[in-house]
Chain A
Amino acid sequence: MKAIFKIEEYLPKTTQIVVRFARLHAPEPIEKYHAVAVDYSKLDCYDSESFVKSLMREVGNHQVKKYEDKEPIINESETISGKLDLSSLVGRTIECKVENDKKQILKVRRVEL
């Protein structure tokens, strides 16, 4: 998932920035999301890349996740468990997690001896 942020204010006297966060594919303009004040003295300001990563790590990731959880669910869905019956899943909307798992499926074969 990609995110975006927009700095609304820069307050060097208090070492703060006021920032809005959203998902890149958010359904609303970023201005519709709450702005939060962040103390940038606690961020890694070594260069732009470091700044972005530390801003997201400290504040942004949580904000984006929070907004995502609050956004309306357009598609009603259900969870499934137990024995798989693919044919029974046709036409149903199933809830699942988007995981960053690099593990692939190991191909195995059950045989009778």
Chain B
Amino acid sequence: MSVKSYLKRCEEFSICSQVGDCAGLIFVEEAVDRSTMYQIIVKGSGKVSTIFNSDYIIGDSHKNNFVDMKKYLGQSTIFESHEPFLIYGFNKLSKNQDWDGKLISESFEGDNKSWLVCFDGRPVINGVELSRMDYAKLENKHYNVDIKDGLVGIFTKI
């Protein structure tokens, strides 16, 4: 099987996804397409590096599931899976955009420069049960979070 790729442009960013069902799958991304700020590993694991570089990052759904990819921006990269995987990428839309991202598990104060993305599970936020790939623009207000089995990221435009 080959790697299946998905992409969706949202209002101020885009989300991509790569899915594969075995170890040893290779996914190469050319520099011109490399705009991923953060990678979120929902299932499985694999390693990623710039091409011809042994200094790689291991992404793992259990140990390292939220990876800052900014150092690879604008460079050609190669990914090799260690097992079946599902990975999402949070991407900027233009070169001069910058984002600060993190996973959340508790209630927080929102701001109107941030977006929330649910990558997995069924977390409940402000009484709304989210599903995988639900996203929302945040406001300057408090958000009550019952994370349950959810994997939720917040991304702030800086």
Question: Are B131 and A109 interface neighbours, CB within 8 A?
Answer: yes
A107 contacts chain B at the CB level, 8 A cutoff: yes
Chain B residue contacts of A102, Cβ below 8 A: 4-5
Binding site for B on A (CB under 8 A): 102-113
Question: Are B134 and A109 interface neighbours, CB within 8 A?
Answer: yes
Question: Are B8 and A113 interface neighbours, CB within 8 A?
Answer: no
Question: Are A103 and B135 interface neighbours, CB within 8 A?
Answer: no
CB within 8 Å of A: which B70-102 residues: none
B128 contacts chain A at the CB level, 8 A cutoff: yes
Question: Are B6 and A113 interface neighbours, CB within 8 A?
Answer: no
Question: Are A113 and B5 interface neighbours, CB within 8 A?
Answer: no
Contact-size category for B: 20 to 34
27 of the cross-chain contacts (CB-CB < 8 Å) are: A102-B4, A102-B5, A103-B5, A103-B7, A103-B16, A104-B6, A105-B7, A105-B8, A106-B7, A106-B15, A107-B133, A108-B8, A108-B10, A109-B131, A109-B133, A109-B134, A109-B135, A110-B10, A110-B137, A111-B128, A111-B134, A111-B135, A111-B136, A112-B128, A112-B136, A113-B125, A113-B143
B interface, by DSSP: helix, strand, loop or mixed? strand
Question: Are A108 and B5 interface neighbours, CB within 8 A?
Answer: no
Binding site for A on B (CB under 8 A): 4-8, 10, 15-17, 116, 125-126, 128, 130-131, 133-138, 143
| A107 with B126, Cβ < 8 A, contacts A112-B136, A113-B136, A113-B143 known | no
| A106 with B8, Cβ < 8 A, contacts A111-B128, A113-B128 known | yes
